[in-house]
Structure 1
Amino acid sequence: MVQQVLVTVEDINGVEPPPSSLWKSIRHKDISRPIWGFLWKAIHGTFKIGAFWDHLSPQYAQRGECPGCKVPETMEHILTECEITGQSMLWSLARELWEMKGLEWIPPTYGVALGASLLQIRGENGKVSPLATRLYRILATETVHLIWKINCQRRIQQGDDDPTKWHSEEQAMNKRLTIDRLLVNKLQYGSKAMMKAKVLSTWRGTLHDEKSLLEDWISQRGVLVGIVPLWR
C-alpha cells in the first residue's frame, strides 16, 4: 500500500517522495490526531475489514463483504467505490468546495485518498501554492475520515439508511474552519498561534455569502463554508 501511495504522489507532484515523508506528512499539524491515526492504520492495513475475516471460521465470512455492494469490503472499496457509504456524494461536496477556489480537482483514487497529506497543489503560474496545498490537505483528509466514520456508523446501526443521522461534509468542514479561527489566538497559543493572514487566505473563496463578511472575519459570528448541505 505504501508503494501505491508513493507512486500516486509522484505522478501528481512530479517527484518521487521517500517512504519516510509519508509518515511525517500524516502527522502534519493541519491533520488532527484521530485522522492521522486512521491514515496510519489504513496504510498499514490493520483494520478488521475485507480479507481479515477470511482466516476465521466460516460463520464470520460475511463480515468481509460489503452488505450493499456484495463485494469484498476493502479500504479502497469503502473510500472510493462503495455505493452505501456516501463516498461519491462526499467527494462531490469536497470538489464543490475546492472548485470555489478556482482550482482543478484531483480525482480521488485510492492513492490520492491515503496520500493527500503529501500532495502539492500548483497555482496558475505552475509553482506550488502553500495555501492551496494546505486547503487540499485539510479537505481531502477530513473527507476520507468522514467516509470511514459513516461506514462504521452504518455497521453499528446495521444498515440504517437515514442520512440525517450521518456526519456531514458540511459539519466536518465547519468544525475545521472553527479550529483554524481559534488557533490564531496569540493570548492562548503564544508563539504557536497560527498567522491570521494564513487562515484568511486558506479559506478565502470557500465561505457562504462571503461578500457580506468583514474583510477580517476571524472573530465574526456566522462564518460557514459555502457548500450546500444535503439535509436539514
Structure 2
Amino acid sequence: MTKADLYTAVAACRAQYFSSPTHDLLSIQRACQTRLGLTVESGAPFKTPGLRGVAFINSNLICIDAKLSPERRRFYCAHEAYHFIFHANHFQRFNCFDEGHPTQNDYLEWQANEAAAETLIPYHLLLLQVQAGAPHIHNGRHFHAFLKESAQHYGVTLTMVRTRLNSLKYEIVQLLAGTAIDNIRLLSDTQQLREGIHVKSLNQIYTDAHVQYPLAQLGLTLSA
C-alpha cells in the first residue's frame, strides 16, 4: 500500500468512523466505542518502558498508558484503532512503543502511525495552513509560533505537528513550488529514496529561533 493509497483509505475511515455529520472530528475514544465496538481503557500506567498502547484484537480491547497526556492518548487510541481496521487478520495483539521495537512489524506500524496522523491532522488541511502562513514565516521564531498555533488547532502536541511536517516534507516542497494541492504527489520516505528525491523538512530549516529564512521565497530551494 502506497502513501497515496493509505491516505485514500484513511479518508474513507475518517468519514465513516471518526467524523460527525458536519465533518467535525469526534472524540477518538467515543468513536472507537460507539462506531467500532471497541472497549478503550486508559486508567492504569504501563510498567513496560516505552510501551504506549496495546490492541487486543480478539477481545476488541484497546489499552492506553495512563501516564500519557490527553493529546498523546488521542493519537495512540487512533493508532490502535487502525490496527483493528487494517490489521485484524495479521496478529492477535499489537504492542505499540514510542520508538521502533524488535517485536514490531515496521510496515504495519508505519501504516497505523500515518493513518492516525492523517486522521488527526489531514494533510490537505495542514498544507493549506502552510500555504496561508508562508508569507508570515520569516524566521525560526515565526515558525515556532506556527507550530504552537497548529498544535492548538488540532488538539495535538508540538512534537506531533513536527512529526507531521517531517512526513509531509516532499508534499510541502511541491506546494511551495506552486503545485496545486490536488496535483501534489504523496510519497513516503521509502518512495522518495527509491526515486532519488532528497528534500529538507521545515523542522530542519528552522532549527532555532535565530534562523532567518522567508518561507514564501523557498519554493524548490527546499531541495537538498
Q: TM-score, normalised by structure 1?
A: 0.29
Q: TM-score, normalised by structure 2?
A: 0.30
In proportion to residue count, which structure has more strand?
Answer: 2
